[in-house]
Each structure stands twice: as C-alpha cells, then as structure tokens.
A = this chain, B = another copy of it.
C-alpha cells in the first residue's frame, strides 16, 4: 500500500471506530485527524467532506461485516436453521465484546448511522440502503437453501422473509443498545425462527 493509501486507511479506521462508539455528529473531523495522526489539510486531500468520508466508512463496514460475520455464520457446512443459530451466537458474542471494551452495547453501526443521518444526508441514507440490500441478499440465499432443504414452507416468500429478518435483527440490536444489555440479543434474537417459519422447531 502506498504512503497515501496508508494515511487514507488510518483516517477511515479512526473514523469508523470513533463514529461507531459515539455518533456521527459527536465526532468531528478534527478529532478523527488527531486520532489518525493526520493533518486536516490531508484529510481534505482524500475526502471531499465529512459526509464523503462517512460513505466510504460505511462501505468498509459492509465488507468487514460480510466477511467476518455473515459469511462465516452462514457458511454452508450446517443446515440453514443451524446457520441462523450460529449467526445469533456471533451477534451476541460481538455485542458482549463491545460492552466489555467500551462499556456500552454499540448495536449495529449501519443502523446507528441510518437513524441519525437519514433525514439529513441523502448520500449517507442511500449508502446505508444499499448496505442493507447486500445483507438482504445473504439472507435470501440462506432462506432459499432452507426452502430447498424443506426446512421452511415451499410457498415461502424468501425475499420478504429476508427483509423481515433484517428488520428484526436491527430492532433487537436497537433494544439491546437502549438497555445497554447484550443478553437482550441472546434472549430475543432466537425468536427469528418463528418469523422464518422453520418447521418443527421449538425455540
């Protein structure tokens, strides 16, 4: 990686962590620069605005989320319903870890930014919308597998169910963050199996 790219990467990483642990508005470009050990002028060499930086942060966030959580959790070595169980465990462990490290359950970084910025910055809102779509496709894929495996009804609308899963997951994380309690994730997330309609499953 060239020197310039390293600098840009430090800015992205600092911004991601600071914004996730606090909020978009509470973190200024000054603080991001200080944390990344970059001068302000350099910041504006790489990013046209704080908003543009945030869009790139969101992209990076999506890649990390898919590669380090979604793909491992939904890997096809297990039955679809077991994959969901694994996903729930990952999500729980992640929030637990965050609470230990920061003292706070941080919830979903995309959901956080979405609720804060959707009415104020159309670029950011659209970006989050496309991130949600990427996650949506991952869900559709597992749900189609579940259908093929006979774990859910043949007539199931997997595309709608994927949206439902996404919404429920975001909701659970929102409540967990509000109560600042990772156990909420462990307790509530398993109910998703009722939304999906896994056959012969007591949860």
Task: Report which A residues bind B (CB closer than 8 A).
Answer: 21-26, 102, 104, 106-107, 111-112, 114-120, 125, 128-129, 132, 160, 163-164, 166-172, 174-175, 177-180, 184, 187-188, 191, 194-195, 197
Q: Distance (Å) between the CB of A126 and the closest chain B CB?
A: 9
- Sampled A-B contacts (8; CB under 8 Å): A22-B119, A115-B177, A132-B178, A163-B188, A164-B188, A166-B171, A167-B175, A167-B184
A174 near B175 (CB under 8 angstroms)?
no
Q: A115-B111, A119-B21, A167-B188 are in contact. Are A125 and B180 (CB under 8 A)?
A: yes
Q: A129-B179, A177-B118, A180-B118 are in contact. Are A23 and B25 (CB under 8 A)?
A: yes
A116: chain B residues at CB < 8 Å are: 23, 25, 112, 115-116
B171 near A23 (CB under 8 angstroms)?
no
A104: chain B residues at CB < 8 Å are: 118-119
Oligomer: number of copies: 2
Q: State the majority secondary structure of interface residues on A.
A: helix
B25 near A25 (CB under 8 angstroms)?
yes
A171 near B167 (CB under 8 angstroms)?
yes
A111 near B174 (CB under 8 angstroms)?
yes
A22: chain B residues at CB < 8 Å are: 119-120
A160: chain B residues at CB < 8 Å are: 187-188
- Tell me the complex Cα distance, A120–B104, Å: 10
A172 near B167 (CB under 8 angstroms)?
yes
Candidates B107, B115, B169; contact of A112 at CB < 8 Å: B115
Top-5 shortest CB links A-B: A171-B171, A25-B25, A167-B171, A170-B171, A114-B178
Q: Name the residue of chain B whose CB is nearest to the CB of A133.
A: B179
Q: Distance (Å) between the CB of A188 and the closest chain B CB?
A: 6
Q: Name the residue of chain B whose CB is nearest to the CB of A191.
A: B164
- Tell me the complex Cα distance, A125–B104, Å: 11
